[in-house]
Amino acid sequence: MASRAQMEQTTVPTVEPPRPERPRGAARRAVETAPQLDSLIHERIRLGIVSALAVNETLTFTELRELLKTTDGNISVHARRLEEAGYLDCTKAFEGRVPRTRYRLSVTGRQALERYLDHMEALIQAARLR
């Protein structure tokens, strides 16, 4: 007598779903390399910091916090991660008696954002080609 597993193997037809057409070129590479996305930028708050600084020469800690509607701790942690990676330049100074931390996007950071944008656009392109 055949086991239950053997019966299921013989009675259940296996229908292979039609294979989607593979996207080509850069789009295919984007899909294949999706797991290697720049995780530094991919995180939502870090992506917000980099995006805001891409269109502003500099932004202060407070401006970033208000813009991204988040906490001091979050901005502090994420900005430090970006700074350690060389994506941001940070300057600390006093304006009057008030300490001001000012951030600027570095060349490396801008290049990383451009790569990330290219990757996103290629992923969308890949989906359209399917």
Partner 1 sequence: MSWPEREPTEGTPLKGHERPLRTLHGQAMENLRFIRETMERSASFTAVPGKGSVLIGVTALVAAIWAGRMDGREGGAGGWPGWLVVWSWELPLALAIGGIAMKRKARATSLKLLSGPGRKFTLSLAPPLLAGAILSLALTRAGQAEVLPGLWLLLYGAGVVTGGSFSVRVVPMMGMAFMGLGALALFAPGSWGNLLMALGFGGLHIGFGWVIARRYGG
CA-CA distances (angstroms) from residue 120 to 2, 4, 19, 53? 51, 47, 23, 19
- Token pair belonging to 50: 């980099």
**Nearest to residue 60, comparing CAs of 98, 30, 32?**
98
11 versus 36: smaller Cβ distance to partner 1: 36
- Decide if 59 contacts 103 (C-beta within 8 A): yes
Pick the piece of the chain touching partner 1 (CB under 8 A) from 11-19, 66-74, 88-96, 98-106: 66-74
Please, what is the minimum distance in Å from the beta carbon of residue 1 to partner 1?
42
Q: Which residues of 18-43 are buried (b: 16+ CB within 10 A; e: fewer)?
A: eeeeebeeebeebbeeeeeebebbee
Q: 65, 68, 87, 88: which one contacts partner 1 (CB under 8 A)?
A: 68
Q: 29, 48, 85, 104: which one contacts partner 1 (CB under 8 A)?
A: 48
Residues listed for the chain: 130
Pick the piece of the chain touching partner 1 (CB under 8 A) from 7-15, 28-36, 82-90, 92-100: 28-36
Site size toward partner 1 (CB under 8 A) is 39
Q: State the residues that interact with partner 1 by CB under 8 A.
A: 31-32, 34-35, 37, 39, 42-45, 47-48, 51-52, 54-57, 59, 67-68, 70-71, 74, 77-78, 81, 110, 113-114, 117, 119-121, 123-124, 126-128
